Amino acid sequence: MANPMLASNQRETFDIIQPGHDYTSITEKITGISMSPKVSPVWLLGVIFALGMAGVMATGMIITILFGVGVWGNNQPNGWGFDIINFVWWIGIGHAGTLISAILLLLHQNWRTSINRFAEAMTLFAVVQAGMYPLLHVGRHQYAYWMFPLPNSMELWPNFRSPLMWDVFAISTYLTVSAVFWYVGLVPDLATLRDRSTSRMAKVLFGMAALGWRGSALHWRRYMQVYLLLAGLSTPLVLSVHTIVSFDFAVGIVPGWHSTIFPPYFVAGAVFAGFAMTILLSVPLRAVCNLRDVITMRHLENMGKVMLATGLIVFYGYIMEVFFGAYSSNKYELYMTFNNRMFGPYAWSYWMLIVCNGIIPQVLWMKKCRTSIPCLVAVSISVSIGMWLERFVIIVTSLSFDFMPSSWALYHPTHIDWMIYLGTMGFFTLLFLLFCRILPVISIAEMRELIHHQKHVHGGHDAPGSHQHAHSHASH
């Protein structure tokens, strides 16, 4: 009698990697992207465009440093504008990488294997974009190091009650742990690149980065111990980092901010936006690099399911915000929720937010939409726009109309604001394109594990020691 669990594993393995691959073919497919001497015209055009956008960002940042943050649209009472809106947006995008890498690893979800490497890279690059905004927002940029608890001649210590300080520690911790987790996962693949490189310089560089990896049983044992330990450390970060970011608002008494719903729905929104960006990166990646047999529709459908689940949590948060505003009987909250956000001068952003994040993602209930690439891309773009609008609504509408009508003022971003924001998108794209050209975008060692399981369930039994054979090839 057939084992139903074995049959289920067989179907799952075939869904996440197409049959016909062996250890050699999967290694050549993945390493061929970064080790090929030919440069793809699509990649080259992307790099040129991204460089131009990064130059726009650099120009905007230089103008800001030379002339101060007065060149931004920030005013009184809008002390926060594009700087914090884009900071929170980029931090949210970085959440999917840690979730895919750490939590799905601990839950033994094999479908993470083909997407975890570039999702982790996406996390690092997004956090880099986010980290630039608090540094620029300081104003006196030469004293930005005062935010760190370092001894200095003026004996000035950080005010740990300031939300700005919370952001500094959240970003630095998140970036450090994510970078270490990403690098540890790269070590076996760096050894593969070292052994397959024909250039002497490449062999030396990859050899140094591989830390003397030889693929021995002791190496694998220590690797798995460290990898699982880092996964355990990274898992709380998914909840803690964006919770801390939400406290920037929740601890304030500004109408529309002082709410306990912020931490959970900020975290859900971060995963929501992060998976949308992962889909937007994986679709062109699988097409341009011919990775359709390893980044399959199973991966895209599962990411669509996660987007649907987190989108429902976010939509519930929007409903609760309206409920709390009505139930509190607080005249300031009532005015902010109904008169201002729904029907005020920024009402267009609120209703676009509801459509982008609440209505459009509901098409993912249908399997036909979850398995349609154009539909997934359209929903992901909608979610990315919607999550940016969410931050715009929370920050701008609340600050523009606070307690005293005498201090009300509308917020209008300047061209410098737009230059820095659009430029960060270009800089993010540039970093991602360089990563795809230099390092394996998919984990070779973990894909070998899938090949081993596929052969096991398809062919019954492998030769003795085949499992160790799969590991030993990770450095050849």
As a whole number, mean pLDDT of residues 129-151 equals 80
The residue ranking higher by pLDDT, 219 or 468, is: 219
Q: In this model, does residue 467 exceed pLDDT 60? A: no
Q: Which CATH superfamily is domain 33-442 in?
A: Formate dehydrogenase/DMSO reductase domain (1.20.1630.10)
Cβ-based burial of 309 (10 A; exposed 0-12, middle 13-18, buried ≥19): middle
As a whole number, mean pLDDT of residues 103-132 equals 85
State percent of the chain over pLDDT 90: 19
pLDDT for 429 equals 93
**Is residue 144 very low, low, confident or very high in pLDDT (cuts 50, 70, 90)?**
confident
Structure token pair of residue 374? 């154009």
State percent of the chain over pLDDT 70: 90
157 contact partners, CB below 8 Å, separation of at least 6: 149
pLDDT for 463 equals 37
| Helix (H/G/I), strand (E/B), else coil: 28 | helix
CB of 101 within 8 A of CB of 281?
A: no
Structure token pair of residue 199? 């250039």
Number of Cβ within a 10 Å radius of residue 52: 12
240 contact partners, CB below 8 Å, separation of at least 6: 170
Domain boundaries, the chain: 33-442
pLDDT digits 0-9 by tens, 21-45: 677 777 777 777 777 778 788 888 9
As a whole number, mean pLDDT of residues 151-172 equals 77
pLDDT digits 0-9 by tens, 358-405: 899 999 998 888 888 999 999 999 999 999 999 999 888 888 887 778
pLDDT for 195 equals 83
Structure token pair of residue 399? 């600050």
Mean per-residue pLDDT of the chain: 82
CB of 148 within 8 A of CB of 183?
A: no
Which sign, positive or negative, has the C-alpha torsion 19, 20, 22, 26? Answer: negative
As a whole number, mean pLDDT of residues 430-452 equals 84
Separation of CA 392 from chain center: 19
pLDDT digits 0-9 by tens, 332-370: 888 877 778 888 888 899 999 999 998 999 999 988 888
End-to-end CA distance of the chain: 40
Give the CA angle between residues 459, 461, 466 to the nearest 5°.
110
What gap in Å lies between CA 56 and CA 412, rounded to an integer?
Answer: 20
DSSP string, 247-286: HHHHTS-STTT--TTHHHHHHHHHHHHHHHHHHHHHHHHH
- What is the largest distance, in Å, between two alpha-carbon atoms of the chain? 80
**Is residue 459 very low, low, confident or very high in pLDDT (cuts 50, 70, 90)?**
low
Q: In this model, does residue 138 exceed pLDDT 50? A: yes
Number of Cβ within a 10 Å radius of residue 399: 26
The residue ranking higher by pLDDT, 18 or 356, is: 356
